[in-house]
Amino acid sequence: MPDIVIRHIDSLMAERIKSLAKERQWSINDVVLNALRNGLGMSAAGQIFTETMLDPGNLVLAGQWDAREKAVFQEAVQALSVTQPTQLAPARE
């Protein structure tokens, strides 16, 4: 994959990128790639992304969920979104 260097990023944008990376426990590169994909309207279909690229806020619940069920589900998804992949399964060698 090619690398792209982006120059002249203002300090506000740099701080927002760092803040999102820390909040989501993503790498800065993952935050920037996610922003570019969303900004360019590119679908993730057919491409392989790391688990850190999944945004729990993008899930849509179908069916009938009461408020308690929604809250529990969202809590579980949020907990999974901040775990390292090797916490759930051994790393592949």
pLDDT digits (tens, 9 = 90+) for 27-55: 898 889 888 887 887 755 545 455 455 56
Domains held by the chain: number: 1
Token pair belonging to 45 = 């279909």
Instruction: Confirm whether 2 is domain-assigned.
Output: no
pLDDT on residue 58: 63
Token pair belonging to 37 = 């994909």
Spatial neighbors of 6 by CB under 8 A, at least 6 apart, are 32
Instruction: Confirm whether 93 is domain-assigned.
Output: no
pLDDT on residue 46: 41
Instruction: Confirm whether 4 is domain-assigned.
Output: no
pLDDT on residue 48: 42
Instruction: Confirm whether 24 is domain-assigned.
Output: yes
Note down the domain range covering 38.
Answer: 11-88
pLDDT digits (tens, 9 = 90+) for 46-88: 454 554 555 666 666 678 888 898 888 888 888 877 777 666 6
At residue 9, φ and ψ (nearest 5 deg) are: -80, 125
Q: What's this model's pTM, rounded to 2 decimal places?
A: 0.47
> Given pLDDT bands bounded at 50, 70 and 90, which one contains residue 91?
low
